[in-house]
Amino acid sequence: MTTETLTFSDLALSAPVLKAVTKVGYEVPSPIQAAAIPALLAGKDIVGLAQTGTGKTAAFALPMLSQVDVTKSHTQILVLAPTRELAIQVAEAFQRYASEMSGFHVLPIYGGQDMRGQLRQLKRGAQVVVGTPGRVMDHLRRNSLDLSKLTNLVLDEADEMLRMGFIDDVSWILEHTPATRQTALFSATMPKEIRRVATTYLREPEEIRIANESKTGANIEQVYWMVSGTNKLDALTRILEVEPFDAIIMFVRTKTATVELAEKLEARGYSAAAINGDMNQQLRERTIERLKNKKLDILVATDVAARGIDVERVSHVINYDIPYDSEAYVHRIGRTGRAGRSGKAILFVAPREKRLLFAIEKATSQRIEAMKLPSGDTITAARVDQFFQGINEVLESDQDLSFFDDLLGNYCREKEIEPEKLAMVMAYLLQKDRPLQVKLADIKPDPVREKRERSDRGERSDRGERRSRGPEEGMKRFRIEVGRNHNARPGDIVGAIANEAGLQSRQIGQIKLFDTFSTLDLPNDMDAAMAQKIASIHVRGQVLSLSEDRGPARKGAGAPGGSFKPRNKKKKFANTK
């Protein structure tokens, strides 16, 4: 049985898990899922080599949940993740896949979160704990996390944990777990340190390699809209008003959503139809034929239903629901821009789905630019253009207009009105059900969210901003020796400091990335011991070497990408208050 024909019902998952998977809308497993799920259900240890965004969370969560005992509240599954963001995402995925399992509890634990709350929840019990290495170690030392009955352990994004300096912590945790546990290690790359962990702590693991084929065509323009300020359907309608499209394939996650969205688009005047796995082959082919013959303009589809569709007139692909893995994204947008033709792909991203956007960008090695939602003025201009285009087409045709000439001429003479006045009335009557002049409240960007987005995506601030904007009250600006050239992200820095130094995320202020270093704002009453602890933390394999930031030097010493040396290394933490 090939991966193309394999379904989740073929993978021996438990009935509650399979029901949840169906409800989520998954239809066929991705390559990593198709390989890993049977191996884990068979009790094997595995090493999965796959890029972020290939569906690996489901690859380990689904088989492990199929074997969890919900009648017992002790920790049975432990997942180690490099950052708090990933820990939260994995915990949410477990909750989603266990939605049909009564009595199930999952708990994310990470630095920067209230320890007392974690202690209370651990005391109540959770079958699955997802945590960052530093915080898991804290609980093990406190004896608040009991792993004596652990059956499954996952090392997620092991190479990221290595880059952040957690690999020794991971080894320490592994030594505090039962030797009988089943272990799954996932990593995008396999450096020797990760290979050593696999050799030391895994038992004859089955190695699963998934080739990274996430390449998108250069002739496809890719943009995303961050969902905010209005609902998705209204935003979609605005976009359709101004996008000059021929035909569109619109992707959603579930079969139910294909029908619901197609019906809503039809109600708004668009020629749309659904296509999903519940349709028989004859109906599917008939629907695609309608798209080819211009009797249909929008096809709302699931990933499986859209496979193999090659329709020349598809100018746009809209990801109404962002896919959970990057391979699906590549396959989706590949429905346009075929055979050298140009195409456009639009991606809707909810704030909680930013990590999926970053994973797609990383896997495709391509930046996806943000788009602005069309304003009322923009939509008005588009409608006016269409209105005049219709007039021009009639004027340029051989249409006999003599009847209307006599009719309207007689009316003007009888009512004693100017032809221009009558033209205005006729235009109003023609467009009153769909006014040409559109007045919409423009969606104003959220400055806090925009700032966070820029920070998350590692956008570089210019030197003038660095000079002019100082730290907030109660904060002091420091320099750390990790930056863009080390592939560092603000999330890496925050996660490492919170996990290792015990600072809460709200105590970590603005972070700016430069080529070879970064600046960050920390409390100005931070003591020397805390500063020294932060200075020794590793991020992306680099020691932070915290020092007070003195701003760009006149000759470039502290400029982006330049070198920087504190004036007195011995006293670099002497004035932290």
Task: Determine the pLDDT at residue 185.
Answer: 96
Judge whether 8-209 and 220-375 match in fold: yes
DSSP assignments along 190-242, one per residue: --HHHHHHHHHHSSSPEEEE--------TTEEEEEEE--SS-HHHHHHHHHHH
Q: Pick the closest to residue 55 from 360, 300, 489 (CA basis).
A: 360
Q: Pick the closest to residue 166 from 517, 546, 539 (CA basis).
A: 539
First to last CA, the chain: 66
Q: Are 249 and 335 in contact (CB under 8 A)?
A: yes
Q: How far apart are CA 371 and CA 319, in angstroms?
A: 14
Helix (H) or strand (E) run with residue 330 in it: helix 326-333
Q: For residue 482, with 0-12 CB atoms within 10 Å meaning exposed, 13-18 middle and 19 or more buried, which class applies?
A: buried
Q: How far apart are CA 512 and CA 459, in angstroms?
A: 8
**Residue at 104: amino acid letter:** F
Q: How far apart are CA 107 and CA 41, in angstroms?
A: 23
Q: In the chain, where are the structural domains located?
A: 8-209, 220-375, 377-431, 456-571
Q: Pick the closest to residue 301 from 282, 313, 317, 286 (CA basis).
A: 317
Task: Determine the pLDDT at residue 91.
Answer: 92
Token pair, residue 554, equals 């006149």
**Cα–chain-centroid distance for residue 443?**
22
Task: Determine the pLDDT at residue 560.
Answer: 38
Instruction: State the number of CA atoms in the 13 A half-sphere of 459 facing the CB.
Output: 14
Task: Determine the pLDDT at residue 433.
Answer: 66
Q: Topology of 8-209 in CATH?
A: Rossmann fold (3.40.50)
Angle between helices 490-501 and 528-535 (to 10 degrees): 130
Task: Tell me which CATH code domain 220-375 carries.
Answer: 3.40.50.300
Task: Determine the pLDDT at residue 18.
Answer: 94
Helix (H) or strand (E) run with residue 523 in it: strand 518-523
Task: Determine the pLDDT at residue 306.
Answer: 79
Buried b (16+ CB within 10 A) or exposed e, 297-310: bbbbbbbebbeebe
pLDDT tens for each residue of the chain, 577 residues long? 444 568 898 999 999 999 999 887 777 888 899 999 999 999 999 999 986 666 789 999 999 999 999 999 999 999 999 888 788 889 989 999 999 999 999 999 988 778 888 999 999 999 999 999 999 999 999 999 999 999 999 999 898 888 788 889 999 999 999 999 999 999 988 889 999 999 999 999 999 998 765 566 678 899 999 987 568 898 898 888 888 899 999 999 888 899 999 999 998 889 999 998 788 878 888 898 899 899 999 999 988 777 667 788 899 999 999 987 777 888 888 888 865 678 999 999 988 888 889 888 887 878 899 988 877 777 777 777 777 777 787 778 888 888 888 888 888 888 888 888 888 877 777 776 666 666 665 544 444 444 444 444 444 333 343 443 677 777 889 999 998 888 787 877 887 887 777 776 667 888 888 888 999 988 887 888 888 889 888 888 788 999 988 776 433 333 333 333 333 333 344 443 3
pTM over 0.85: no
Q: How far is CA 59 from CA 19, 215, 349, in A?
A: 16, 22, 23
CATH architecture assignment, domain 456-571 = 2-Layer Sandwich (3.30)
